[in-house]
Amino acid sequence: MLDNVQNILMIRRGAIGDILFTLPAYHLLRANFPNSKISFLVKDSYSQVLQGFPGLDEKLFIRKKDLSSSNIVTLWNMSRELFKTVQSHNFQLAIDFVGHGEQAFFLWLANIQHRWGSIKTRKPLRQYFYSNYFIRNMDTVHIIDQHLKLLERGGLTSFPVKNEYVVPKENLEKAEYIFKHLGLSLNQPTLYIQPFTGDGVAGKMWPLDRYVSVADYCQRQGMQVLFGGAPDEREKLTAVAERFPVAAGQADLVTSIALAKLSSVIVGGDTGLMHAAVAVGKRTVMLVGPTNYFRIGPYQHPEWAIRPPSGNVIEDISVTQVIEGIITAINEL
């Protein structure tokens, strides 16, 4: 039934962590369709993360500014342009990893033969427009594995799960330069701290002063410490930069992932950089509050998550808990 599939479209508009959760599905598609063209539809503001999807043939963009517009004409023109682009590619298989109703209808209207959708809850109309769907309401199963179940329901051959993000050589070279520029050695144990979450959700962020306390302890134990962050977070780290190397403002997203790859242990909250660190094979210590760590925690390693002793308030996680988690991580290296 899938013998005629030559052009494949993957859809996950954002955010960074959610896009990274489609990486094993991408590898499974590539294993099943080694000679087919695979394209990825994403918001332009998140497209950079796809640089680590090895062999991805093409990126298709939705302009985030247009998508958030309240102007009907802007939205109509964006939708019309996108529809023409999708139709012109002659996709035979489209996989929608979020399962929005409008996207289900869009793919049906584009006359794509195989339309697969990952649906959050049972929606009869939405299910009608997909030719294959999976309802991802399994609280104790990671989203990555639920995406893979969608592909398996479509008849794809299973292979060992491959959650491998490949950092481009140029970004690794930039990261090495930043290491040296900041006075860090590539041969010394390094703790990479990602203190902020990309979406800025307060309930997912541990207080910055506690990260500093962790950094103080680790530095006294002989570890190098590097604080990461997005360019617009540099100002928040002004005081930190007086005491520790700070890469925020010097590294784009993929170079930040490369910095994590060069480090020994990565600590932070539920954010895209942490999931990328897992995908480049690094040991992480993830602080989670409201996050369901089984579904969206460190993939295949829920034990790497540090949780509040009771409830889900991330501020209840103590500095001692995090330090103990880092010591455990170092002993596992």
CB 307 within 8 A of CB 293: yes
Angle of helix 319-332 versus helix 208-220 axis, rounded to 10: 50
Taking the C-alpha atoms of residue 151 and residue 133, their distance in angstroms, rounded to an integer, is 9
DSSP-H helix ranges across 154-280: 169-181, 208-220, 238-241, 253-262, 272-279
d(CA 208, CA 240): 9
d(CA 70, CA 322): 43
> How far does Cα 286 stand from its chain's mean position?
14
Sheet holding 305-306, edge to edge: 224-227, 190-194, 265-268, 283-287, 305-306
What is residue 76's predicted lDDT score, i.e. its pLDDT? 80
- Closest Cα to residue 120, out of 102, 140, 143? 143
- How high is the pLDDT of residue 123? 78
- Residue 177: count of CB within 10 angstroms of its CB: 12
pLDDT tens for the chain, 333 residues long, are 687 899 999 999 989 999 999 999 999 999 999 999 999 999 999 999 999 999 999 999 988 887 777 888 887 888 888 889 999 999 999 999 998 888 889 999 999 999 999 988 887 778 889 999 999 888 899 999 999 999 999 999 999 999 999 999 999 999 999 999 999 999 999 999 999 986 656 688 999 999 999 999 999 999 999 999 999 899 999 999 999 999 999 999 999 999 999 999 999 999 999 999 999 999 999 999 988 999 999 999 999 999 999 888 999 999 999 999 999 999 999
- Joined together, the tokens standing for residue 246 give 């700070």
Q: Which residues pair with 95 in a beta bridge?
A: 10, 116
Assigned token pair, 51: 């640089």
State how far the Cα of 308 lies from the Cα of 289, in Å rounded to an integer: 7
Predicted pLDDT at 257:
98
- pTM of the prediction? 0.95
Element (H, E) at 38: strand 37-43
Q: What distance in Å separates the CA atoms of residue 24 and residue 29, rounded to the nearest whole number?
A: 9
Please report which residue ranges of the chain form alpha helices under DSSP H.
16-20, 23-32, 64-67, 72-88, 101-109, 124-129, 143-153, 169-181, 208-220, 238-241, 253-262, 272-279, 293-296, 319-332
For the domain spanning 169-332, the CATH number is 3.40.50.2000
Please state the φ and ψ torsions of residue 96, each to the nearest 5 degrees. Answer: -100, 110
Q: How far apart are CA 239 and CA 235, in angstroms?
A: 9
CATH of domain 7-153: 3.40.50.2000
Query: DSSP code of 231?
Result: G
d(CA 156, CA 144): 16
> What type of residue sits at position 209?
D
CA distance 273 to 268: 9
Which segments of the chain belong to CATH 3.40.50.2000? 7-153, 169-332
- On the 0-12 / 13-18 / 19+ scale of CB atoms within 10 A, 72 is exposed
